[in-house]
Structure 1
Amino acid sequence: MFGVAAAGLAWTWPWLADRMEGDDVTIARGETLYAEHCAACHGAKLEGQPNWQSPLPSGRLPAPPHDASGHTWHHPDGVLFRITREGTAAVVGGGYESDMPGFEGILDDEDIRAILAFIKSTWPERERAYQAEMSRREREKTQ
């Protein structure tokens, strides 16, 4: 459900891709910010919550992993940025409910980019290459 809705998002930020890859300082900063703002739900090792694909009694899905076992790497940069900034429900729309808040006003855009650079730095080459291709296609659609 989420994957289909997120894949259909038309509004993205094409300038984002050039700024998503991180140097060592950015990645280290992202790791610190991830620990402060994301690890409580998504896991200290990016492992997500147990049974993350099965709805909770509330009907909402648990926090997914951000490591290679999850689906984060299936999404282009613009979608990942928007989900982090605006929250999943705001991005997916259609009445979708999520416990994932938006971090606008808590994290600035550079903080979000650093967190995403850290997450991406942990993926194996195959997942990074796939995600980079998804981001390239996203940019081409908006040009």
Structure 2
Amino acid sequence: MSRTAILFSGLGIAAAVVGLAVAWLWLAASTSIGDDSAATIAVGKTLYADRCASCHGANLEGHPDWKSPLPSGRLPAPPHDASGHTWHHPDGVLFRITREGPAGVVGGGYQSDMPGFGNVMSDEEIRAVLTFIKSTWPERERQYQAEMSRWEREANQ
């Protein structure tokens, strides 16, 4: 193989590696919740009140008896405060559930009363809502959820 062919092969491989790294960074940025500024939290709080509170409660308390199926067989809206299980999920999962709806993420014919919000909120608005929700958790739950998100990012590398 000539030196020129080897050089071009090496450049091709390097370009592929850089391309994959950029794609991974874009994917991680597109699902990571990220910015926890006061402004983002305020926007998220307003959006939560408009889009989420009617089911999940004005104080993130969820539906009473949220672990017991409704007559329809579907589960009621869970709380998003520390008493619920939202903080058990990494950022990417929370983002996808909000954007696509639980049925879109769980699959297998899972049925939920929660729609996906990707057609009514932008990705940035969804991230703001999730940032607001996370801002209400005690430090222990925030740390646990941050660790879950770190593991998720590492697994997707």
Q: TM-score, normalised by structure 2?
A: 0.81
Instruction: Work out the percentage of aligned pairs sharing the same amino acid.
Output: 72
Whether 1:39 and 2:41 are equivalent positions in the alignment is no
Q: 2:106 aligns with which of 82, 92, 95?
A: 92
Larger radius of gyration: 2
Rounded to whole Å, the distance in 1 between the matches of 2:47 and 2:101 is: 17
Q: 1:127 matched to which residue of 2? A: 141
State how 1:1-143 maps to structure 2 within 5 Å: 13-15=27-29, 16-17=31-32, 19-143=33-157
Q: Which stretches of structure 1, 4 residues or longer, exceed 6 Å deviation after superposition?
A: none
Give TM-score, length-normalised by structure 1: 0.89
**How many residues were matched structurally?**
130
Q: Counting helix residues as a fraction of each chain, which structure ranks higher? A: 2
Helix, strand or coil at the partner of 1:111: helix
State the shift of 1:104 in Å: 1.1
Instruction: Report if the CA contact (8 A) 1:42-1:65 is conserved.
Output: yes
Q: Which has the higher contact order (CA 8 A, sep 6+)?
A: 1
Q: CA deviation at 1:21?
A: 3.7
Instruction: Write the distance in 1 (CA, Å) between the matches of 2:122 and 2:36.
Output: 16
Look up the equivalent residue of 2:111 and give its one-letter code. E
Q: Give me the whole-angstrom Cα distance separating, in 1, the residues matched to 2:35 and 2:124.
A: 12
Segments of structure 1 that go 5 or more residues without pairing to the other structure are 1-12
| CA distance in 2: counterparts of 1:104 and 1:119, whole angstroms | 18
Give me the CA root mean square deviation: 0.9
Q: 1:72-125 CA distances to partner (integer Å, 9 max, x unpaired)?
A: 000000000000000000100011100010011200000000000000000000
